[in-house]
Structure formats: C-alpha cells, structure tokens
Structure 1
Amino acid sequence: MRKWFPAILILSLALIAPELIRRACNLEPRAENPLAGPLSDNLRTFDGSSTASVKDSQGGIVRVVGTQHPLAEETIQKVVDRRSLEESAHISVWNWQGIESVTASARGLDQQHHFASSYLVGFKPFKTRQLWVPLYTLAINKEYQYDHLQYAGLADIWQTSRQAYYQKRGDCEDHAILLADWLIELGVDARVALGTHKGQGHAWVVAILNNQEYLLEATSKRRKTSWQAMPLAALAEGYDAEFQFNRHFFWAKSNPAPTRQYRGNHWIKKSQFIRG
C-alpha cells in the first residue's frame, strides 16, 4: 500500500491529458533497464515455469459517455510510448474530449498499457459454489509483494486475472483483479475499487449481493478467521475509493468526499470498455 500522487501530464496529442497516479514510497527508478523483453519472461508461476506463455487478448476501445468518438488503446499507447519505461509504469487516468477521468490504464507484463477493464479476462480457476473460496485461495496461494521489488524498481505493473492466478507474487491490484474476475464468473456483481486505505494507495473488491455491498480485502493473509463472513462495506473503516471498474464499465466519484457506499448519484458511469 503506497500513497498516490496525481499529477497532470500535458501532452501535445489533441484531446488527451492523462493524469499519472504516482506513489511515494517506491524505490527510485533505476537508470539502466534490465528488462529487455516482456516482463513476464522474468517471472515464474507456482510450479516454477515461466509466465511468458500466460497471455490474454486485452485490446479494445472505450466508449465515453457524452462523446461520439471512442478512445482506442492505440491512441493511449502513442502517448505512453513517449515516456520512459519507468515513467510509464504508473497507473494513468485519462481525460477525453473535455471529459475528465473517463477511464484508467496500466502497464501489463507485455510492457503495453491496457485499459483497466481489460485485465478482467473472464477467468475462473475452478468451479465453486462457496463465494468465500476465491478469497481463501488468494490468501493461501498468492504472496503479496510490491511491484517495485518484483519489476526492477518499476512502480505499477498489472497482471491479468489469469496471470495473477498463475504468478506466485503480486500487489493489491493483482489480488483485486483476480478476486473480482473470479466472483464475476460465479455470478456476483463484483468491482475493483481504486483509492486509498488509511491514506495509502490501495485496490480492493466490492461485491454486491442481495442489494448489499460487501468490501473484500483481497490481500488479506489471515489464517484464523471465519472465511464465510463477508464484511459489509458500510462498516469498513479507512477505505476511500476514487474509481471502480468491472469487465465493462468504469466509474468515477463525483466529489472528493469519502463514502462507504459504492452505488448512488455520487458515482458516475464514465465509460464502457468493448473488447476488440
């Protein structure tokens, strides 16, 4: 969990002005770049094999509410390509045709920026009728590790839900992406929330069941607990979400006031992701 520092990057490409969500307690970027190929070439799965073969199709476009022209992945990639590897290894929140915060993108293991929703690839490791099983499986099998320790000082590298299952280590986004996608496959309205927890940058999962909102801490490594107990979001202290996304939609909060509610007029559906 790290602090998020938004900063506007002014670019000459028309109609685009992305915000880089920066984090404070990362290591300083290294001057050299030891990662010549895809980042997945440098990682190992649970059984020790390379993750290079664990790939997903993530291309697509984003249809922004209030505009007639979609935002294409190729468009944001042109902007990202102008940055250094270290500079582009941050989550970017994008403005499009005068509308703020329409979607977010992050660098994946293939070294390309992809829209946030594209990381939810429709992956279900195995079938289960118990909704607590995915959370328990993450706690037992996936180790928490900061991205800058795993990717040679790079701040934020995202894994798809499939990659997150097979890759032994990952940070809060990787845990949340896998958990949300797995729950969606089980028929749950689940979303990844991006924001802060007690002032530190964080990602977690919100699940909506029987008109109730539950906050699931995907990075929890607790052992002695009742895993079948799902905590109500309204009772979860210290969480302040700025954005939410699932496989199809991206939401932004309409005002900066903290909230424990993940539905309502204070959330604006900004865009829809359409996979290519």
Structure 2
Amino acid sequence: MRFWLLPACIALVLMAPEVLVRLGQPDSAAEGLVRERMEAALNRQMAVGDSAGDHKDRQRGVVRVSGTGRPLSEDYVQRAVAKRSEAQSAYVSVWNWQGIPEVTASARGLDKKHHFANSYLVGFRPFKTRQLWVPLYTLAIRKKYQRDHLQYAGLSDIWQTSRQAFYQKRGDCEDHAILLADWLIELGIDARVAMGTHKGQGHAWVVAIVDDTEYLLEATSKRRISSWKALPLAALAEDYDVEFQFNRHYFWALKDNKPTRKYRGSHWVKKSQFIRS
C-alpha cells in the first residue's frame, strides 16, 4: 500500500473554456425555483430525521480486484489504518493488493473510519431535476468551500458522503465533487470523481460523459447562474492532471504516468469493483 497525499485543495473561481453542450437557459425564475426546492428538501429531510448527522448510509463493502481471487475488505483497511498515527490516517490511502498496485483508495469519513472511495457515493439526490445546471448551481449557493484542516481540528483530509456534503454547509474539493458526481449519476449521466492535481496541488473534480463526449466540471466553482450556459470540454481543461477516477462501482488508474486529458481509453485500467454490503 502507499499513501496518496492530497494537500489542501484550492477553491477555483474560473472554469475551463465553455463549449458545445447547452445547460438550458436558466433565468431568475429558475433560480428562485431551485432555491425553493433546496429549502423544501432541507425542511422535509429535517422533519423526518434524515440528515447528515442521524442518517446512516451503507458504506461497508468489499473491493473485488481484477486479476485476484480474494477481495479486499473494509475490515482489513481499517485494521491497517488503525496502526497509523491520527495524522497519517487522515490522508487518503491508495492500496496495493496481492501484488497489484493502486487497486482502490480509501479515506477517513466523519465517523473517523476509513471507507472505500466508491462508498462515499451513496445514491443521494437532494431533489428531483432534469436540468444539468441545477446540481452545479445548488453547490454554488448551498456549500461554502473550506479546507479540512480548518474545519476538523487540524486533520488533513476528511471526506463527506454525498448526503453529508449536501447537509454540511462547508467542505473541500472532494466533498463538492462527491455530491456533484452522485447527483449527476442519479440524472442518468456517466459521472466520475477524478483525483489528481490542479496546478500541482492535490485536487478532486468531476468528469461527465454526455453523448460520448467528456466534460470537466469544477465542483468548487462558485460562479453564479448567469454565466452557466455550456459545459467545458475536458480536452481543453488546462492544468488538471488526473491520476485516478471512480464512480459508485469502479475504480480506474492510469496505466502509466503520462499526463492525459482523456478519461477513457486503453491508457486507463479498471482496477476494481466495489460491492456494497
């Protein structure tokens, strides 16, 4: 195993060049409707006790690694992490298994335990929508960017599930990306959380595949609705260097260390499948 050190991410204000896929023509009425739905979702979930603090999503599971006969269990990961110091266990870990490198990643959650990266995508949708711009806009108005060490008593990296990321008003790049990707998946989009660096600093973002074209979505962007008219092509997004990507079920790693702006192809290896228990 090895640690994949994810330094504090930077909240990005600008996104990559915008092209091609239209998000619709949101206006002030649409903006108001989104706010109403968001508040209704918050009130409804609080009324039934379904919040980040008291709802227990299923995160446990095993990872089946391609080319091996024995799955990697969460119990094994948690036992290994328990032998580390608190500071060490706060980092994201990328795991080797039975001689195969970089088969999956785990990170410490709000419960202070390590869980597989896939498990943070819990199938949460704050409210129904068919508009692709709505999850981006909701993140922009709902969630404030804050680095983990400022929020969690100096700990370097704590992940929120997609549900927790909606209820928690603050979070860093992983939290934003996890909520955005999970919501887009609920809309029927092939969306993945990408892990790597942006301008040399650890970062996480979302890649969405729409009509066989890859788009890079900066989940931490706090731009407002008036400038959201198109999705940015991943091929034109500069300064993003991806190493891994994952969705609810699979974890991919680059075959080599060559920089790429393509999120599909033979240079990617599907290392493992997460099976929720």
Say whether 1:153 aligns with 2:154.
Answer: yes
CA 1:94–1:209: 2 relative to 1, 3 Å: same
**1:19 maps to which residue?**
2
Residue identity in the other structure for 2:112: Q
CA 1:105–1:227: 2 relative to 1, 3 Å: same
The 8 Å contact of residues 176 and 192 in structure 1, kept in 2 or not, is answered as yes
Q: CA deviation at 1:228?
A: 3.3
Give the TM-score normalised by structure 1: 0.83
CA deviations 1:11-61 (Å, max 9, x no partner) are xxxxxxx211224569xxxxxxxxxxxxxxxxxxx8999843143120000
Give the TM-score normalised by structure 2: 0.83
**2:209 maps to which residue?**
208
Rounded to whole Å, the distance in 1 between the matches of 2:235 and 2:160 is: 29
What is the aligned length? 240
The 8 Å contact of residues 55 and 163 in structure 1, kept in 2 or not, is answered as no
Matches within 5 A, 1:157-236: 157-223=158-224, 225-236=226-237
The 8 Å contact of residues 62 and 274 in structure 2, kept in 1 or not, is answered as yes
Structure possessing the higher relative contact order (Cα contacts under 8 Å, 6 or more residues apart) = 2
SS of the aligned residue for 2:180 comes to helix
CA deviations 1:45-91 (Å, max 9, x no partner) are x8999843143120000000000000000011110011122210000
Rounded to whole Å, the distance in 2 between the matches of 1:271 and 1:58 is: 16
**1:250 maps to which residue?**
251
User: Higher mean Cα deviation, 260-269 or 81-90?
Assistant: 81-90
Say whether 1:270 aligns with 2:253.
Answer: no
Rounded to whole Å, the distance in 2 between the matches of 1:25 and 1:243 is: 17
Greater helix share, structure number: 2
Rounded to whole Å, the distance in 1 between the matches of 2:77 and 2:202 is: 23
Rounded to whole Å, the distance in 2 between the matches of 1:264 and 1:51 is: 37
- C-alpha RMSD of the superposition: 1.8
The 8 Å contact of residues 102 and 250 in structure 1, kept in 2 or not, is answered as yes
Matches within 5 A, 1:88-99: 88-99=89-100
Say whether 1:70 aligns with 2:71.
Answer: yes
CA 1:241–1:221: 2 relative to 1, 3 Å: same
The 8 Å contact of residues 7 and 201 in structure 2, kept in 1 or not, is answered as no
Rounded to whole Å, the distance in 2 between the matches of 1:100 and 1:189 is: 25
CA 1:86–1:54: 2 relative to 1, 3 Å: farther
Q: CA deviation at 1:222?
A: 1.2
Rounded to whole Å, the distance in 2 between the matches of 1:24 and 1:240 is: 14
CA deviations 1:125-172 (Å, max 9, x no partner) are 011110111011101110000000000000100000000000000000
Rounded to whole Å, the distance in 2 between the matches of 1:155 and 1:72 is: 24
Moved over 2 A (4+): 22-26, 46-52, 223-226
**1:140 maps to which residue?**
141
Q: CA deviation at 1:198?
A: 0.9
Rounded to whole Å, the distance in 2 between the matches of 1:20 and 1:145 is: 23
Rounded to whole Å, the distance in 1 between the matches of 2:64 and 2:7 is: 32
SS of the aligned residue for 2:4 comes to strand
Rounded to whole Å, the distance in 2 between the matches of 1:224 and 1:169 is: 20
**Identity of paired residues, percent?**
71
The 8 Å contact of residues 7 and 156 in structure 2, kept in 1 or not, is answered as no
The 8 Å contact of residues 137 and 225 in structure 2, kept in 1 or not, is answered as no
Matches within 5 A, 1:55-134: 55-134=56-135
Q: CA deviation at 1:105?
A: 0.1
